Structure 1
């Protein structure tokens, strides 16, 4: 009886590990979607309202989890680039996301309105490419990770019995 219970636990542990890996892929995709939506909102604010960068971030960045270090740093009195660097260096982000976010922040608010619109359009395109890759990776490997976790758990359970 104890062996059967251990085997069931191993199967569930394997399934949980597979789901965790699959979740990481989904979160990567979701972060890119949130950043893409943010970029779209930024472009609209710049084009039609001429709103300053800090105000745009206050309006549209509060609900993005990886920008929370930016807001905390700004409350502590840090300037824009230092605060943005903290957000771009967040542990939540993958290396390619960090690079994308860091590079966007370096040019954000540094030029006139037309330059900002071009900057946002460039990063929308780069984010679209990264999002397409992340979406494909999630579709291809997400299910694989879940199934692999169950299979490894089942194999270990069989070895136990």
Structure 2
């Protein structure tokens, strides 16, 4: 009886590990989608309303998980670039997400309106490319990780029995 319970626990652990790896891929894809939406909203509002950078971030970035370290740093009194660099240092982000955020923050609010629109367009395109890669990875590897977790858990459970 105890062996069966142990085998069931191993099967569950393998399945959970596979689902966790798959979820990491999905979260990466979702963060990129949210950032792309943020860029689109910021660009649109800059075009038609000429809203300052700080207000744009407050309006459209508050709900983004990516930008939470920025808002925390601003509450602690950090200047814009220091707060933005803390955003890029977020441990949850992949290397490419960090590069995108750091590059976007360094140029955000640094030029005139036309320069800002070009900057947003550039980062929209870079984010779109990264999003395409992330979606492809999730569709290819997400199911693989889940099934691999189940199979490894079942294999170890069978060895135990």
How would you bin the TM-score normalised by the shorter chain? Answer: over 0.9
Q: By how many angstroms is 1:45 displaced?
A: 1.1
Runs of 4+ in 1 over 2 A off after TM superposition: none
Stretches of structure 1 lacking an aligned partner (at least 5 in a row) = none
d(CA) in 2 for partners of 1:73 and 1:14?
38
RMSD between aligned residues: 0.5
Task: Give 1:51 shift.
Answer: 0.4
| 2:139 corresponds to 1:153 | no
Tell me if 1:114 matches 2:106.
Answer: no
Aligned equivalent of 2:101: 101
Q: Deviations over 1:102-148 (max 9, x none)?
A: 00000000000000000000000000000000000000000000000
Gaps of 5+ in 2: none
Deviates more, 1:20-29 or 1:88-97: 88-97
The residue number in structure 2 matching 1:60 is 60
Q: How does 1:53-92 map to 2 (within 5 A)?
A: 53-92=53-92
Give the drift of 1:77: 1.2
SS of the residue aligned with 1:9? helix
Aligned length: 161
Question: Structure 2 CA distance, aligned partners of 1:147 and 1:155?
Answer: 12
Q: CA deviation at 1:89?
A: 0.8
Whole-Å separation in 2 of the counterparts to 1:150 and 1:75: 44
- Give TM-score, length-normalised by structure 2: 0.99
In the superposition, the TM-score normalised over structure 1's length comes to 0.99
TM-aligned CA deviation for residue 94 of structure 1: 0.6
Which residue of structure 1 lines up, in the alignment, with residue 27 of structure 2? 27
